[in-house]
């Protein structure tokens, strides 16, 4: 499943991360695109609408910007 701008997806958190700049977040994936969701825990599910996909300047990974639906 590729992350397409304007599309709605149901995603599940597959990984948890935390650092001093972004704080705790869960990460869902749509193929190679990561969807970082603040304060989310592994296993939680969300319905989201993709509003942009960009390359993170620090990690070099593709990340989606989204709105919760």
Please give the domain boundaries of the chain with CATH numbers for all domains: 8-68 (2.40.50)
Query: Cα dihedral angle (30, 68, 24, 19), rounded to 10 degrees?
Result: 60
Residue-wise pLDDT tens digits, 3-13: 899 999 999 99
pTM: 0.85
Instruction: Indicate the length of the chain as a whole number.
Output: 69
pLDDT, tens digit, 9 for 90 and up, residues 12-37: 999 999 989 889 999 999 999 999 99
């Amino acid at each position: 499943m590729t992350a397409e701008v304007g599309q709605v997806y149901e995603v599940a958190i597959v990984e948890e991360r935390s650092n001093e700049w972004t704080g705790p977040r869960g990460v869902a994936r749509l193929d190679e695109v990561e969807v970082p969701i603040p304060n989310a825990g592994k296993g939680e599910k969300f319905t989201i609408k993709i509003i942009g996909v960009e390359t993170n300047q620090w990690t070099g990974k593709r990340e989606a910007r989204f709105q919760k639906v």
